[in-house]
Every structure is written in structure tokens, then in C-alpha cells.
A = this chain, B = another copy of it.
Amino acid sequence: MVSDTGEVLAVDVGGTKLAVGRVDHGGRVVRKLHVPTPRNVDAEGLWRTLLSLVESVVDDRPVAAVGVGCGGPMRWPAGEVSPLNIPAWRRFPLRRRLQERFPDLPVRVHNDAVCLAVGEHWRGAGAGVGGFLGMVVSTGVGGGVVVDGRVVDGLTGNAGHVGHVVVDPHGPPCACGGSGCLEAIASGPAVAAWAQREGWHTAGEVSGRAVAEDAARGHPVAIAALTRSGQALGVAIASVVHLLEIEAVAVGGGLSQAGPLLFGPMQEAFRRHARMPFARDCRIVPAALGQDAGLVGAAALVLAGDRYWSGN
């Protein structure tokens, strides 16, 4: 469906930014544009912003297919999106709109966290591995699962919700309605909220990033907050590895920039809980593709659809 030499259009729709790029068959982002996600616009205004980015990227030569990552939830594979962090779009028919613009091309839309995981598996930290977990630790905690070298979608595209693995049944309430979920403990906002309760103050924005910055400066409560997040991540990873014999885990997203202050406790908790030989051998590494992972994964939906797309 996609020629060996054709570049594809990749789109990454997030609550913070809209990114659009051309990705070649090797997974290289050969051209990229991005803008902050507009606020105070309606559904059509946001669509027009996205479409103008798209037109800028396809104006010089055609693309062979279109792959899109977008914040969830969504109806999948229909690609009707209601991103939690983009109130302007509720049941917005993103896949259909792009299909109308590119009537002769395959257009595929998936969850942005799944795309990040797919990108890391296709061309990043998980390349060549059969069982892989890609995680995004940011405003939320999301991810994608690869088994036998193929992404797991689930019946309605909702597989990969690793942020809702329960890490402490007596833990704090979660936005999903449950409690003790990984996301409720390990996400940026959860880290910041916990740090505040424990006496951390900031003159600026209350965020996981601010906590990480103070932790890097040696603030003990900020360090403890990242430790708590990392431990929860390590516990959840141990559970997933036991369940699926995952061979490699890549952790990305804003909070992962905290580096060893997060990865140290994560690795330590993982080692404490994952003691059987097959589990112990799992590698946990930072995501490798950085800002491009979402675009690369969106491109993989169409460039390597045999492994990364089971929808229609």
C-alpha cells in the first residue's frame, strides 16, 4: 500500500503541542513543524490550525499515507477523538476529516501513548525485541504493549493503559474513578501534589517538572516525591514483566527527564519485586527517540502496519 521510497505524513496531537512531520521509510523525521495547541478555539478552529500545518508539510511533494497519534480517549479504529486535555474536540471525527483531505491514501489514527511505544519499538529503545512495554510519564501515565513483536490493541484500541495498573490497593483516588493506580502516584501532578502535602513549596508553577528541578538541587521532599513515583513505576513494571515476559521497557515523557532520581528508585523497586530469572533479565531504559517518538510511531502505523495496526 505504501511504496518503499514514499514518505508519509505523521501527525501528533497533544494537549501541549500539535506536531506534523514527514517520516521516511527508515523512520527518520525528514521535516517537522509544530505549534502550541491553540486554546480558546472551537473544534473547527483547532482543525483549521492542524490542517494548515499539514498543508505546509505536504506542499512540495506528495505523501504515501497518513499516520496520526492523538490523546485519548477515542473511538478506535474509527478515530473519533475526545482528548482529555483538548476540550475543543469531543467526538471529533479526526480520521474521517483527514481521509477526506487525502481520499486516496491510507489514514490511521491511534492513541498517542500507543504511538510513542510503537515508535520506540520500531526505531528506538525497543527495536528488535519481541515483548516490549513503552511508557510515558507526564501529566498522565500511559503506554503501549508489544507482544511477539506486534502491538496489542485490544477490542476497542484501549490496551496499553499501564497507568491504571494498581500499585497500591489502599492508594489515592485516581481520575479514572478507581484508586491506587500507577498514574495516581507516579504522574507529574501526583508527584507535585504529594510533595506539597509533605511541605514542599514553590514560587512558580506547581508541577512535576518543578519538583524535579528542586530534587536536582537536593530538596529532600522533592527527592522523596520522585522516589515514591519511581518505586510505583518499578512495581508496575515488575507486574507487567511477570504477566507477559516483557524483555525491555522504555520510559519517556516529561517526568522521565528527572533521570537517575526517578530511574534509580524505579530500578531498585523492580529488582526487589522481579526475582525470577526470566523477569530479572528485563532491561529498563529511558526512551530513545525524545520529542520525535510520537511522529515516528504515528508513521509506523502505516509504514509497518503488519506489526502496528490491527484496525480496519
Contact = CB atoms under 8 A, between A and B. Distances in A.
Interface in A154-177: 154-162, 164-170, 176-177
A247 B279 CA distance: 26
A177 B276 contact: yes
A242 B179 contact: no
A274 interface: yes
Interface residues of A, number: 52
A179 B272 contact: yes
Interface in A274-291: 274-276, 278-279
A235 interface: yes
A257 interface: no
A98 B181 CA distance: 46
Contacts of A154: 130-131, 244-246, 278
A282 to B, nearest CB: 10
Interface string A134-170: 0000000000010110101111111111101111111
B245 A156 contact: yes
B178 A275 contact: yes
A178 B239 contact: no
A247 B155 contact: yes
* Number of copies of this kind of chain in the complex: 2
Given A147-B147, A147-B152, A245-B154, A165 B275 contact: no
Given A155-B245, A178-B275, A273-B178, A167 B165 contact: no
A231 B269 CA distance: 23
Interface in A207-258: 231-232, 235-236, 238-240, 242-247
A168 B165 contact: no
A269 to B, nearest CB: 8
Contacts of A246: 154
A275 B245 contact: no
Contact of A160 (B170, B243, B273): B243
Contact of A161 (B150, B181, B231, B243): B243
A310 interface: yes
Contact of A178 (B168, B238, B243): B238
Interface of A: 130-131, 145, 147-148, 150, 152-162, 164-170, 176-181, 231-232, 235-236, 238-240, 242-247, 269, 272-276, 278-279, 310
